[in-house]
Chain A
Amino acid sequence: MSLASVVIVGAGQAGFQVATSLRQAGYGGRISLIGDEPGLPYQRPPLSKAYLLGKIGATNLLFRPENFYTEQRIELRHDRVTAIDRQNRRVLLEGGEALAYDHLVLATGAHNRPLPVPGAELEGVFGIKTKIDADTLAPLAKQARNVVVVGAGFIGLEFAAVAVSLGSAVHVLELGDRPMARAVSREMSELFSQAHHRWGVHLDFRQGLTRVIGENGRVTGVETSDGRILDADLVVFGIGVIPNTQLASEAGLDIANGIKVDANLLTSDLHISAIGDVACFPCLQNDEQPTRLESVQNAVDQGRTVAARLMGKPAPYGALPWFWTDQGDMKLQIAGLSNGYDSTVVIGSPDSAQLSVLCFRGDQLIAVESCNRPGDHLAARKILSRPPQLSPTEAAAAGFDLKAWEAANRD
């Protein structure tokens, strides 16, 4: 296949990966990587963790230094794509230029769902998505006395753990009845509830907020759904994201909770692929249901899959989803997807905060969540990627050891 030029919209985790993988595979044509954020492409996970705490600096966020892009002939452009002209196969840039493509990759990511209450525009109310968000937030987090976090998902809880370690009083409001409910089992939620409690974070479930209160344009508190006023000099929300589909939908591509793609990550236009947070794909580990995942693994593996296809090695995307989150001294690693699990087997002890939860649907192992048991996580990734299957009965046997089972069942 000879493609003279590949244009990538979005210079985040997924966009960076396609560009790099194309060059690694020997692609000789033109690569344009267009991103609307300032600076060099960087990774987001530390923004709500190590970077906020000052444990890693700004250079360490970068995927690569500037000369990499020159050496690899990856044309990095700081611009915004405003339209896709599918007929003439070109994209229009805010700067006024038009760029022709033979293949277009949409890796536009997602933006934070805004706080849907009055007062959300006050100073001191934040979502965390970009390096700029983290840079603005970091000094405020160090000074804050009363922090309210809205949403007990991954990012909200990561920030809660950071804020409490910096000495703030932290109150988390969550509409659901447990933390990280969309993504983890009850058992794992419980372990993290206890941990946050131990660190001094106040978790308030089945509780939302009706407004953010401020003085002179700055936040001073929030009102909860049950009518209490909580003091707050900083409010951080993490209530989900909305995929950046506008470009694609205006261009007439199929949209369904993200840009709809087939098993090869192709959109409804065969000259356009979509990957990463914005892509809604038939997920092998989710009964091939249209699924959108927000993780580094998903962005990286989908980037690799598209690069391989463009280099003449097409393969349906089927990588095992995995994820991690770091909160205080707890590292949670998840292999597989637990949606629809109906039974669990717990290994390890909650007292030591070293625990793995094996999630089964019927007789099938579908996910393993490990807290501070990274060996279990890596073993689980192997077990979930190939036969034989581990049965719930085997896992429930006294003294069961996941790593030993994996070792004994290697081919």
Chain B
Amino acid sequence: MPTLTLIEHNGTAHQVTGEIGQSVMQAAMFASVPGIQADCGGACSCATCHAYVDDQWLARLPAAEGTEADMLEYAVERNDNSRLTCQLIISEALDGMVLRLPASQF
């Protein structure tokens, strides 16, 4: 199972194992990582599952498109490497990925 590292805004790092096919948001929720809110449960309707993907990993992800891209415009403290984690599906290729969480989701 791929392992991801999620780093809270205060620097606390969490190693999270996720199942292939699961979203990064859900793996984080299952591991009780604070700092992701995910109000809509992954329907890409709330923008409260925002995270920053470390640059080396960003290139390996399919680009944000359509709904995600439009929602991201409204993520708080949005950056070039911002993504909505409910739209990032875990695969072997993402083993080791590092994501940082924003100070607040809203």
Contacts and interface: CB of A to CB of B under 8 A. Distances in A.
Contacts, number: 58
Interface residues of A, number: 30
Nearest to A42: B41
A374 B45 contact: yes
B70 interface: yes
Contacts of A296: 39-41
Interface in B19-44: 19, 21-23, 26, 29-30, 32, 34, 39-44
B99 interface: no
Given A296-B40, A326-B43, A375 B29 contact: no
A60 B26 contact: yes
Interface string A57-90: 1011001110010011000000000000000000
B51 interface: no
Given A60-B26, A64-B30, A68-B30, A45 B41 contact: yes
Interface in A229-251: none
| Chain B facing A: main interface SS | loop
A99 interface: no
A242 to B, nearest CB: 24
A304 to B, nearest CB: 10
B43 A375 contact: no
Given A60-B26, A65-B30, A403-B73, A324 B19 contact: no
B45 A373 contact: no
Contacts of B97: none
A297 interface: yes
A185 interface: no
B94 interface: no
Contact of B43 (A45, A72, A372, A382): A45
24 contacts: A45-B43, A46-B41, A59-B19, A60-B22, A60-B26, A65-B30, A68-B30, A72-B32, A296-B39, A296-B40, A296-B41, A324-B40, A324-B45, A326-B43, A331-B44, A331-B67, A333-B45, A374-B44, A374-B45, A374-B67, A378-B71, A378-B73, A378-B74, A382-B74
